[in-house]
Amino acid sequence: MSLTKITDKAGLHRHLEAAIQLEHATIPPYLNALYSIRPGANTEAFHILRAVAVEEMLHLTLAANILNAVGGTPDLTVPGFVPLYPAYLPDGETDFQVDCQAFSRAAIETFLKIERPAEGATPGVDTIHKGRKRAHHNGHKRHGTAVRARHVPGHEEEHFYSIGEFYQAIEEGLERLHAEMGDALFSGDPARQIGPEYYYSAGGGLMAVTDLASAKAAIRLISEQGEGVTDNIFDYEGEIAHYYRFEQLLLGRYYQKGDARGRPTGREVAVDWDAVFPIKANARLSDFPEGSALRQGAEDFNRAYGDFLALLTRAFQGEPAMFVEAVGGMFQLKELYYQIMRQPLGDGTHAAPTYEISHG
């Protein structure tokens, strides 16, 4: 899709729709890596990946809350919502693509790019900007179209170096529109909000968004739990940012308070890169013989995943209680992941879910 600077409510909606799509786009790669870990092995890595995936669900839901608050309608069932992997992230980060692949160093390196800090705050770069980074408008030309366009294209495309900068643009848009429109900006039905009771994490929680302050709080939580738009390993709640969570796996050691970036000094993290189902990267249904049980299983998975997105959509469109059903459905998905990923394809790789979702 193309995004242009937010100047009106429609533009804000487009950005928030992209935000939902963006948050979701990280989930299949994270879950494929998570469940490719052989059950019982790599428990620490498993937990780290899982904790991040759960927080992406939180971010997805917060983005939906913001969109609902400003009178939009979240819809996770529109064609093209789920990218075909490999895919560019929907915020226009153009220098890398995301693969759906097995737990591996390469996968974690991609995840680091997804969660990377704002430009200039990258580890290893000596000049550290203390403030939040601005978005780069017209910074790059886009290449690749893995995420299919679904919104009205604009003239001045925005591209962001990091997810944090993308959210910064949304926050600025919110502030600008709020200055023009006042509280009329938040015209959504509060009954559509998914409140803290629907999400459990010992870290930051889910919040209802009803005004500018709660919208900004939601954005802050998303940004800081991810890559940290500030330069800190630990965020304002003392929580370690996703970028550094992942980096621990490559560096083989946990960060602790007071550590410098790239130099964790905590306990060792044991990673067994071989205790993994060697799933095929970016698998497609066409990789599995037509009529085979495996093909059937992969189709079942896609249907179940589509159902999961449909339930979330219902939850975001006025039936918050469906959120619990959707999360419950992830237990079934987990079993389907394992069923598929246990199957060797005969070429040294194993099968994997394909995320080719069609909504009927």
Residues contributing to the site for other proteins (CB under 8 A): 40, 43-44, 47-48, 50-51, 54, 195-198, 200-203, 205, 234, 238-240, 245, 248, 254-257, 266-267, 269, 331
Q: At closest approach, how far in Å is the CB of 135 from other proteins?
A: 29
Q: At closest approach, how far in Å is the CB of 37 from other proteins?
A: 13
Only one residue has tokens 């960060």, namely: 255
Q: At closest approach, how far in Å is the CB of 238 from other proteins?
A: 6
254 alpha-carbon distance from chain centroid: 23
Question: Please, which residue, 54 or 304, has the CB nearer to other proteins?
Answer: 54
Question: Please, which residue, 121 or 249, has the CB nearer to other proteins?
Answer: 249
Q: At closest approach, how far in Å is the CB of 221 from other proteins?
A: 14
Q: At closest approach, how far in Å is the CB of 338 from other proteins?
A: 16
Question: Please, which residue, 139 or 329, has the CB nearer to other proteins?
Answer: 329
Question: Please, which residue, 54 or 285, has the CB nearer to other proteins?
Answer: 54
DSSP readout, 221-259?
Answer: HHHHHTT-SSS-SB-TTSPBPHHHHHHHHHHTB---TTP
Q: At closest approach, how far in Å is the CB of 86 from other proteins?
A: 28
Task: Answer for the pair 103, 33: CB distance below 8 angstroms, yes or no.
Answer: yes
Task: Answer for the pair 285, 356: CB distance below 8 angstroms, yes or no.
Answer: yes
Task: Answer for the pair 333, 297: CB distance below 8 angstroms, yes or no.
Answer: no
DSSP readout, 154-221?
Answer: -SS-EE-SSHHHHHHHHHHHHHHHHHHHGGGG--S-GGG---GGG---SSS------SHHHHHHHHHH
Question: Please, which residue, 54 or 217, has the CB nearer to other proteins?
Answer: 54
Question: Please, which residue, 151 or 261, has the CB nearer to other proteins?
Answer: 261
Residue 206's alpha-carbon distances to 87, 286, 290, 319, 360, in angstroms, are: 28, 39, 43, 16, 31
